[in-house]
Amino acid sequence: MLPRADGQGDGAGADIGLWRALAADLGCASLLVPEDDDGAGASFREAATVAEELGRSVAPVPYLGSAVVATMALLSAGDHRTLPELARGDVTAALAVGFATAPGDPFPRTARLAGPRPGDGGGTARLRGEVRGVADALDADLLLVPADGVPHALYVVGTSAEGVRRTPVSSLDMTRPLCDVEFTDAEAQLIATGSDAEDAFQLALLAGAAALAAEQLGVAEKCLEMTVAYVKERHQFARPISAAKAGTVMVRTRKVSSRIPMPMMTPPWTTVPMLENNKPAIEAAKITPAAVITPPVELSVRMMP
Protein backbone atom coordinates (compact mmCIF):
# COMPACT_ATOMS: atom_id res chain seq x y z
CA MET A 1 0.00 0.00 0.00
CA LEU A 2 1.27 3.47 -0.81
CA PRO A 3 2.53 5.46 2.18
CA ARG A 4 0.78 8.54 3.41
CA ALA A 5 2.45 11.69 2.16
CA ASP A 6 2.85 12.95 5.73
CA GLY A 7 4.35 9.66 6.85
CA GLN A 8 1.53 8.96 9.30
CA GLY A 9 -0.45 5.74 9.39
CA ASP A 10 -0.75 3.02 6.78
CA GLY A 11 -3.41 4.59 4.59
CA ALA A 12 -2.88 5.22 0.91
CA GLY A 13 -1.78 8.65 -0.12
CA ALA A 14 -0.55 10.68 -3.04
CA ASP A 15 3.10 10.83 -4.10
CA ILE A 16 3.65 14.44 -3.10
CA GLY A 17 7.22 14.53 -4.44
CA LEU A 18 6.03 13.43 -7.87
CA TRP A 19 3.14 15.88 -7.74
CA ARG A 20 5.43 18.80 -6.92
CA ALA A 21 7.61 17.90 -9.88
CA LEU A 22 4.59 17.70 -12.20
CA ALA A 23 2.87 20.78 -10.80
CA ALA A 24 5.77 23.18 -10.28
CA ASP A 25 8.53 21.96 -12.59
CA LEU A 26 6.39 20.90 -15.55
CA GLY A 27 3.49 23.29 -14.95
CA CYS A 28 0.76 20.65 -15.13
CA ALA A 29 -1.20 22.29 -12.31
CA SER A 30 -1.41 25.58 -14.19
CA LEU A 31 -2.86 24.39 -17.49
CA LEU A 32 -6.47 25.46 -16.94
CA VAL A 33 -5.56 28.58 -14.94
CA PRO A 34 -5.66 31.83 -16.96
CA GLU A 35 -2.43 33.73 -17.53
CA ASP A 36 -3.76 36.63 -15.45
CA ASP A 37 -3.76 34.25 -12.47
CA ASP A 38 -0.19 33.03 -13.09
CA GLY A 39 -1.39 30.06 -15.10
CA ALA A 40 -0.58 28.70 -18.54
CA GLY A 41 -3.95 29.64 -20.03
CA ALA A 42 -4.04 26.38 -21.99
CA SER A 43 -7.11 24.61 -23.35
CA PHE A 44 -8.76 21.43 -22.14
CA ARG A 45 -6.93 19.55 -24.90
CA GLU A 46 -3.65 19.98 -23.04
CA ALA A 47 -5.25 19.13 -19.71
CA ALA A 48 -6.78 15.95 -21.16
CA THR A 49 -3.46 14.95 -22.74
CA VAL A 50 -1.78 15.16 -19.34
CA ALA A 51 -4.61 13.11 -17.80
CA GLU A 52 -4.15 10.44 -20.46
CA GLU A 53 -0.42 10.18 -19.80
CA LEU A 54 -0.96 10.03 -16.05
CA GLY A 55 -3.44 7.23 -16.65
CA ARG A 56 -0.86 5.30 -18.65
CA SER A 57 1.47 5.49 -15.66
CA VAL A 58 -1.28 5.04 -13.05
CA ALA A 59 0.37 7.98 -11.29
CA PRO A 60 -0.72 8.56 -7.65
CA VAL A 61 -1.07 12.33 -7.90
CA PRO A 62 -4.02 14.70 -7.23
CA TYR A 63 -4.15 16.02 -10.79
CA LEU A 64 -7.81 15.19 -11.36
CA GLY A 65 -9.05 16.55 -8.04
CA SER A 66 -6.90 19.67 -7.82
CA ALA A 67 -5.75 20.76 -11.29
CA VAL A 68 -9.06 19.94 -13.00
CA VAL A 69 -12.07 19.67 -10.67
CA ALA A 70 -11.17 22.23 -8.00
CA THR A 71 -9.61 24.61 -10.50
CA MET A 72 -12.70 24.63 -12.71
CA ALA A 73 -14.96 25.19 -9.69
CA LEU A 74 -12.92 28.24 -8.65
CA LEU A 75 -12.84 29.59 -12.20
CA SER A 76 -16.60 29.25 -12.58
CA ALA A 77 -17.17 30.87 -9.20
CA GLY A 78 -14.95 33.78 -10.16
CA ASP A 79 -12.69 33.31 -7.14
CA HIS A 80 -9.18 34.26 -8.21
CA ARG A 81 -7.53 34.44 -4.79
CA THR A 82 -6.46 30.80 -4.68
CA LEU A 83 -5.80 30.14 -8.37
CA PRO A 84 -2.20 31.47 -8.42
CA GLU A 85 -1.26 29.16 -5.55
CA LEU A 86 -2.85 26.20 -7.31
CA ALA A 87 -1.10 27.09 -10.56
CA ARG A 88 2.31 27.20 -8.87
CA GLY A 89 1.69 23.92 -7.09
CA ASP A 90 2.05 25.59 -3.70
CA VAL A 91 -1.27 24.12 -2.53
CA THR A 92 -3.67 21.42 -3.66
CA ALA A 93 -7.44 21.50 -3.41
CA ALA A 94 -10.33 19.05 -3.65
CA LEU A 95 -14.08 19.34 -4.12
CA ALA A 96 -15.66 17.89 -0.97
CA VAL A 97 -18.22 15.55 -2.55
CA GLY A 98 -18.45 11.77 -2.62
CA PHE A 99 -16.42 10.21 -5.42
CA ALA A 100 -19.54 8.67 -6.96
CA THR A 101 -21.10 12.13 -7.44
CA ALA A 102 -21.80 12.62 -11.14
CA PRO A 103 -22.67 15.59 -13.36
CA GLY A 104 -26.34 16.39 -13.07
CA ASP A 105 -26.62 15.19 -9.45
CA PRO A 106 -28.36 17.61 -7.09
CA PHE A 107 -26.36 20.10 -5.06
CA PRO A 108 -25.04 18.26 -1.96
CA ARG A 109 -26.60 18.90 1.45
CA THR A 110 -24.27 16.81 3.61
CA ALA A 111 -22.54 19.93 5.00
CA ARG A 112 -24.57 22.83 6.33
CA LEU A 113 -24.07 26.35 7.55
CA ALA A 114 -23.66 26.70 11.32
CA GLY A 115 -23.94 29.75 13.55
CA PRO A 116 -21.04 32.20 13.84
CA ARG A 117 -18.73 32.38 16.81
CA PRO A 118 -17.91 35.55 18.73
CA GLY A 119 -15.12 37.38 16.99
CA ASP A 120 -15.81 35.98 13.52
CA GLY A 121 -15.25 38.66 10.93
CA GLY A 122 -17.34 39.50 7.91
CA GLY A 123 -17.23 36.85 5.21
CA THR A 124 -16.39 34.11 7.72
CA ALA A 125 -18.81 31.20 8.03
CA ARG A 126 -18.90 28.00 10.06
CA LEU A 127 -19.72 24.57 8.61
CA ARG A 128 -20.97 21.35 10.15
CA GLY A 129 -21.53 17.92 8.67
CA GLU A 130 -19.74 14.96 7.16
CA VAL A 131 -18.87 14.10 3.56
CA ARG A 132 -17.97 10.48 2.83
CA GLY A 133 -15.59 9.11 0.23
CA VAL A 134 -13.94 12.31 -0.98
CA ALA A 135 -11.23 11.79 -3.60
CA ASP A 136 -7.88 13.61 -3.42
CA ALA A 137 -8.82 15.23 -0.10
CA LEU A 138 -6.52 13.22 2.14
CA ASP A 139 -3.45 15.25 1.15
CA ALA A 140 -5.21 18.46 0.07
CA ASP A 141 -4.51 21.83 1.62
CA LEU A 142 -7.93 23.26 0.77
CA LEU A 143 -11.43 21.86 0.42
CA LEU A 144 -14.19 23.38 -1.70
CA VAL A 145 -17.32 22.52 0.24
CA PRO A 146 -20.87 22.69 -1.14
CA ALA A 147 -23.07 23.44 1.86
CA ASP A 148 -26.77 23.73 2.60
CA GLY A 149 -28.10 27.09 3.70
CA VAL A 150 -30.28 30.00 2.63
CA PRO A 151 -29.20 30.06 -0.10
CA HIS A 152 -26.94 27.04 -0.59
CA ALA A 153 -23.37 28.02 -1.30
CA LEU A 154 -19.82 26.95 -2.05
CA TYR A 155 -17.12 27.56 0.57
CA VAL A 156 -13.38 27.09 0.84
CA VAL A 157 -12.02 25.46 4.00
CA GLY A 158 -8.40 24.94 5.02
CA THR A 159 -7.74 21.34 5.99
CA SER A 160 -5.48 22.45 8.85
CA ALA A 161 -8.27 24.54 10.38
CA GLU A 162 -9.78 23.65 13.73
CA GLY A 163 -12.86 21.50 13.33
CA VAL A 164 -11.73 19.65 10.17
CA ARG A 165 -11.11 15.93 10.51
CA ARG A 166 -10.11 13.54 7.72
CA THR A 167 -10.36 9.78 8.08
CA PRO A 168 -8.77 7.54 5.39
CA VAL A 169 -11.10 5.11 3.65
CA SER A 170 -9.95 1.79 2.18
CA SER A 171 -10.25 1.79 -1.59
CA LEU A 172 -9.47 -0.64 -4.39
CA ASP A 173 -7.67 2.16 -6.21
CA MET A 174 -4.69 3.07 -4.05
CA THR A 175 -3.56 5.72 -6.55
CA ARG A 176 -6.59 7.88 -5.75
CA PRO A 177 -7.02 7.90 -1.96
CA LEU A 178 -10.45 8.50 -0.45
CA CYS A 179 -11.31 9.87 2.94
CA ASP A 180 -14.31 10.89 5.01
CA VAL A 181 -14.28 14.57 5.97
CA GLU A 182 -16.01 15.82 9.10
CA PHE A 183 -16.65 19.49 9.80
CA THR A 184 -17.34 20.65 13.35
CA ASP A 185 -17.97 24.39 13.23
CA ALA A 186 -15.02 24.65 10.83
CA GLU A 187 -14.11 28.14 9.64
CA ALA A 188 -14.94 28.69 5.97
CA GLN A 189 -14.82 31.47 3.40
CA LEU A 190 -17.70 32.03 1.01
CA ILE A 191 -16.86 31.92 -2.70
CA ALA A 192 -20.25 31.53 -4.44
CA THR A 193 -23.95 31.37 -3.57
CA GLY A 194 -27.18 30.21 -5.18
CA SER A 195 -27.09 29.61 -8.92
CA ASP A 196 -23.42 30.62 -9.13
CA ALA A 197 -22.52 27.88 -6.64
CA GLU A 198 -24.68 25.40 -8.55
CA ASP A 199 -23.01 26.30 -11.86
CA ALA A 200 -19.52 25.96 -10.36
CA PHE A 201 -20.42 22.60 -8.86
CA GLN A 202 -21.82 21.20 -12.11
CA LEU A 203 -19.00 22.53 -14.30
CA ALA A 204 -16.40 21.05 -11.98
CA LEU A 205 -18.09 17.63 -12.22
CA LEU A 206 -18.33 17.86 -16.02
CA ALA A 207 -14.65 18.74 -16.32
CA GLY A 208 -13.72 15.94 -13.95
CA ALA A 209 -15.77 13.39 -15.89
CA ALA A 210 -14.11 14.36 -19.17
CA ALA A 211 -10.62 14.27 -17.62
CA LEU A 212 -11.40 10.89 -16.07
CA ALA A 213 -12.35 9.62 -19.53
CA ALA A 214 -8.96 10.77 -20.82
CA GLU A 215 -7.18 9.17 -17.88
CA GLN A 216 -8.91 5.85 -18.37
CA LEU A 217 -8.15 5.90 -22.08
CA GLY A 218 -4.47 6.06 -21.08
CA VAL A 219 -4.98 3.05 -18.79
CA ALA A 220 -6.66 1.11 -21.60
CA GLU A 221 -3.92 1.92 -24.10
CA LYS A 222 -1.20 0.82 -21.68
CA CYS A 223 -3.01 -2.44 -20.92
CA LEU A 224 -3.36 -3.11 -24.62
CA GLU A 225 0.32 -2.39 -25.29
CA MET A 226 1.44 -4.70 -22.48
CA THR A 227 -0.86 -7.48 -23.64
CA VAL A 228 0.22 -7.29 -27.28
CA ALA A 229 3.91 -7.29 -26.27
CA TYR A 230 3.34 -10.32 -24.04
CA VAL A 231 1.44 -12.23 -26.73
CA LYS A 232 4.25 -11.62 -29.23
CA GLU A 233 6.90 -13.19 -26.99
CA ARG A 234 4.94 -15.95 -25.25
CA HIS A 235 5.38 -19.52 -26.54
CA GLN A 236 3.03 -22.45 -26.10
CA PHE A 237 3.64 -25.93 -27.50
CA ALA A 238 6.89 -24.62 -29.03
CA ARG A 239 5.03 -21.98 -31.01
CA PRO A 240 4.51 -18.26 -30.39
CA ILE A 241 1.03 -17.76 -28.98
CA SER A 242 0.53 -14.88 -31.40
CA ALA A 243 0.60 -17.43 -34.21
CA ALA A 244 -2.52 -19.07 -32.90
CA LYS A 245 -5.49 -17.86 -34.86
CA ALA A 246 -7.76 -17.41 -31.88
CA GLY A 247 -5.26 -15.32 -29.98
CA THR A 248 -4.49 -13.12 -32.97
CA VAL A 249 -8.15 -12.54 -33.78
CA MET A 250 -8.94 -11.74 -30.15
CA VAL A 251 -6.15 -9.18 -29.87
CA ARG A 252 -7.02 -7.51 -33.16
CA THR A 253 -10.71 -7.42 -32.33
CA ARG A 254 -10.13 -5.92 -28.91
CA LYS A 255 -7.70 -3.39 -30.35
CA VAL A 256 -10.30 -2.15 -32.81
CA SER A 257 -13.10 -2.09 -30.25
CA SER A 258 -11.00 -0.15 -27.75
CA ARG A 259 -10.58 2.68 -30.25
CA ILE A 260 -14.25 3.02 -31.17
CA PRO A 261 -15.08 5.58 -28.46
CA MET A 262 -12.29 7.91 -29.62
CA PRO A 263 -14.49 10.05 -31.93
CA MET A 264 -16.75 10.72 -28.96
CA MET A 265 -13.79 12.04 -27.00
CA THR A 266 -12.26 14.11 -29.80
CA PRO A 267 -14.39 17.31 -29.48
CA PRO A 268 -13.46 18.28 -25.92
CA TRP A 269 -9.80 17.50 -26.55
CA THR A 270 -9.28 19.37 -29.80
CA THR A 271 -11.81 22.17 -30.10
CA VAL A 272 -12.57 23.46 -26.63
CA PRO A 273 -10.79 26.66 -25.56
CA MET A 274 -12.74 26.48 -22.29
CA LEU A 275 -15.52 24.17 -21.19
CA GLU A 276 -18.46 26.51 -20.67
CA ASN A 277 -19.39 26.66 -24.37
CA ASN A 278 -18.96 22.97 -25.14
CA LYS A 279 -21.06 21.12 -22.59
CA PRO A 280 -22.63 18.74 -25.16
CA ALA A 281 -19.16 17.47 -26.13
CA ILE A 282 -18.20 17.06 -22.49
CA GLU A 283 -21.45 15.18 -21.90
CA ALA A 284 -20.44 12.79 -24.71
CA ALA A 285 -16.94 12.33 -23.31
CA LYS A 286 -18.01 11.53 -19.78
CA ILE A 287 -19.94 8.39 -20.77
CA THR A 288 -16.96 6.70 -22.45
CA PRO A 289 -14.61 5.56 -19.63
CA ALA A 290 -16.19 2.15 -19.00
CA ALA A 291 -16.51 1.44 -22.72
CA VAL A 292 -12.88 2.42 -23.28
CA ILE A 293 -11.15 0.68 -20.42
CA THR A 294 -13.08 -2.54 -19.90
CA PRO A 295 -12.15 -4.60 -23.02
CA PRO A 296 -8.36 -4.06 -22.88
CA VAL A 297 -8.22 -4.62 -19.13
CA GLU A 298 -10.29 -7.80 -19.36
CA LEU A 299 -7.99 -9.00 -22.14
CA SER A 300 -4.90 -8.28 -20.04
CA VAL A 301 -6.30 -10.21 -17.09
CA ARG A 302 -7.08 -13.24 -19.23
CA MET A 303 -3.92 -13.41 -21.30
CA MET A 304 -1.14 -12.20 -19.01
CA PRO A 305 0.24 -14.17 -16.03
pLDDT in tens, 63-79: 999 999 999 999 999 98
- What span, in angstroms and rounded, lies between the C-alpha atoms of 44 and 67? 11
- Give the mean model confidence (pLDDT) for residues 205-225: 85
pLDDT of residue 288: 55
Contact 177, 61 (CB under 8 A): no
Upper half-sphere CA count for residue 162 (Cβ side, 13 Å): 2
Given a contact cutoff of 8 angstroms between Cβ atoms, the answer to whether 200 and 159 are in contact is no
pTM of the model: 0.83
Tell me the pLDDT tens digit for each residue of 84-138.
999 999 999 999 999 999 888 999 999 999 988 888 877 789 999 999 999 999 9
Average pLDDT over residues 212-240: 79
The tens digit of pLDDT for each residue in 253-267 reads 455 454 444 433 443
- Res 268 pLDDT > 60: no
Stretch 217-227: mean pLDDT: 82
Q: How far is the C-alpha of 154 from the C-alpha of 50, rounded, in Å?
A: 28
Is 273's pLDDT higher than 60?
no
Predicted confidence (pLDDT) per residue in 130-187, tens digit: 999 999 999 999 999 999 988 899 999 999 999 999 999 988 888 888 999 999 999 9
Report the alpha-carbon distance of residue 149 to residue 27 in Å, rounded: 37
Domains and CATH numbers, the chain: 16-197 (2.40.110.10), 206-303 (1.20.140.10)
To 5 degrees, how large is the angle CA 107–CA 99–CA 259?
Answer: 110
Q: What are phi and psi of 116, to 5 degrees?
A: -70, 160
Residue 134, Ramachandran bin (φ over 0: left; ψ between -120 and 50: alpha; else beta): beta
- So what's the pLDDT on residue 255? 53
Give one DSSP letter per residue of the chain, joined into a string.
-PPPTTS-SS-----HHHHHIIIIIS-GGGTTS-GGGTS----HHHHHHHHHHHHHHT--S-IIIIIIIIHHHHHHHT--SSHHHHHHTS--EEE-SBTT--TTPPPP-SEEEEPPPTT--TTEEEEEEEEEEEET-TT-SEEEEEEESSS-EEEEEETTSTTEEEEEE--S-TTS-EEEEEEEEEEEEEEEEHHHHHHHHHHHHHHHHHHHHHHHHHHHHHHHHHHHHHHHH-EETTEEGGGSHHHHHHHHHHHHHHHTTHHHHHHHHHS-SSSTT-HHHHHHHTT-HHHHHHHHHHHHHHH--
Q: Which residues of 136-159 are buried (b: 16+ CB within 10 A; e: fewer)?
A: bbbbbbbbbbbbbbeebbbbbbbb
pLDDT at 234 over 90: no
